[in-house]
Amino acid sequence: MHEYSIVASLIDRVQQEATAYEGARVHRLYVKIGELAGVEIDLLKTAFDTFRERTICDEAELTINTVAPIWACPSCERSVERGSILRCDSCGRPAKMTQGDEIILERIEMEAPDV
């Protein structure tokens, strides 16, 4: 269950950002997760709800945007359609994933007094 370690890292990163603003309160986190990142979204939400207590994210909401995988040829950069063989139609090279396996903290909405 690596979702718990993902949440721990997420909260640590938010804490690092919030320390620049004394008394900051975090309201919402926006996270982008690729469909092939190996993350169970429901388990991640449960882990966040469980471990955010008594942290900077105690009252924060978690918004998750999932990203579909996209494959393309590393040579000619032609896209490979979803569900097809992962090989370029024109040059025959194996396709490379260009998105769909990422976990990115995109945005933190926080309130910072006296800024």
Model pLDDT for residues 44-85, shown as the tens digit of each residue: 999 999 999 999 999 999 999 999 999 999 888 888 888 888
User: In 3D, which of 59, 48, 58 has the Cα closest to residue 10?
Assistant: 48
Model pLDDT for residues 19-37, shown as the tens digit of each residue: 888 889 999 999 999 999 9
Question: What's 56's domain CATH number?
Answer: 3.30.2320.80
Residue-level pLDDT at 17: 92
Lowest mean pLDDT among 41-45, 58-62, 110-114: 110-114
pTM above 0.75, yes or no: yes
Structural domains in the chain (count)? 1
User: Which residues have C-beta within 8 Å of that of residue 68, sequence separation ≥ 6?
Assistant: 35, 82, 99, 100
Place of tokens 């979803």: 82
Copy the structure tokens of residue 80: 């490979």
In which domain, by residue range, is 85 found? Answer: 3-111
